[in-house]
Chains A and B, each alone.
Chain A
Amino acid sequence: MKIRGEFITRQILDDTVVLPVGNTAIEFNNMIMLNSVSLVIWQCLENDVSFDDILKAVTDNFEVSQEQAVADIREFLDGMRSYNLLDE
Chain B
Amino acid sequence: MNMPVEAAMVEYLYQKASASGSPISGTFELTPLCNMNCSMCYVRLSKEEQTARGELKSAEEWLNLARRCKDAGMLFLLITGGEPFTHPEIRTIIEELHRMGFILTINTNGTMIDEETVSWLKKVPPARINVTLYGADNDTYKRLCRCPDGFSKADKAIMLLKENGINIKINCSVTPYNADDLPEIISYAKRNEIVIQPTAYMFPSNKKSTETNNEFRFSPEKAAYYTAYIDYLINGKDKFLSFSKDAVIPADNDDNCGKTGEGIKCRAGKCSFWITWDGQILPCGMFPRNAEKNAFEGSFDELWAYTKDMTDKIRLPADCAECRLKKECRACAAMVISENGCFDKAPEYRCRYVSSFYTERNRLINEITHKEDN
Contact = CB atoms under 8 A, between A and B. Distances in A.
Contacts of B13: 12-13, 15, 17
B247 interface: no
Interface in A13-54: 13, 15, 17, 19, 21-23, 25-31, 33
A66 interface: no
Interface stretch (B119-127, B229-237, B330-338): B119-127
B250 interface: no
A13 B14 CA distance: 11
Nearest to A22: B123
Contacts, number: 66
A19 B10 CA distance: 13
Among A23, A25, A28, A30, the most chain B Cβ lie within 10 Å of the Cβ of: A25
A19 B166 contact: no
A8 B24 CA distance: 17
B127 A12 contact: no
B99 A29 contact: no
Interface string B28-55: 0000000000000000000000000000
A10 to B, nearest CB: 5
A12, A27, A28, A83 — most chain B CB neighbours (10 Å) = A12
Contacts of A25: 98, 125, 127
A28 B20 CA distance: 29
A28 B103 CA distance: 13
Given A12-B24, A13-B13, A83 B6 contact: no
Contacts of A19: 101-103
Nearest to A9: B101
Contacts of B3: 28-30
Contacts of B9: 31, 33
- Chain B: number of interface residues, binned into ranges: 20 to 34
Contacts of A22: 98, 123-125
Contacts of A17: 13, 75
A84 interface: yes
Given A13-B20, A22-B124, A29 B75 contact: no
A21 B103 CA distance: 10
A19 B102 CA distance: 8
A21 B100 CA distance: 9
A31 B103 contact: yes
Contacts of A26: 2, 122, 125, 164-166
B16 interface: yes
Contacts of B6: 30-31
Nearest to B124: A22
A25 B122 CA distance: 9
Given A13-B16, A19-B103, A22-B124, A28 B1 contact: yes
A12 B75 contact: yes
B5 A30 contact: yes
B1 A12 contact: no
Given A12-B13, A12-B24, A15-B13, A27 B103 contact: no
B167 A29 contact: yes
A23 B108 CA distance: 22
Nearest to B13: A12
A84 B99 contact: no
Given A26-B165, A28-B1, A12 B125 contact: no
B143 to A, nearest CB: 35
Interface string A43-77: 00000000000000000000000000000000000
Given A12-B73, A29-B125, 9 more contacts: A13-B24, A17-B75, A25-B127, A26-B122, A28-B3, A29-B2, A30-B4, A31-B6, A83-B1
Interface of B: 1-6, 9, 13, 16-17, 20, 22, 24, 73, 75, 98-103, 122-125, 127-128, 164-167
- The 5 residue pairs across chains A and B that have the minimum distance between CB atoms: A8-B101, A25-B125, A26-B165, A10-B101, A26-B125
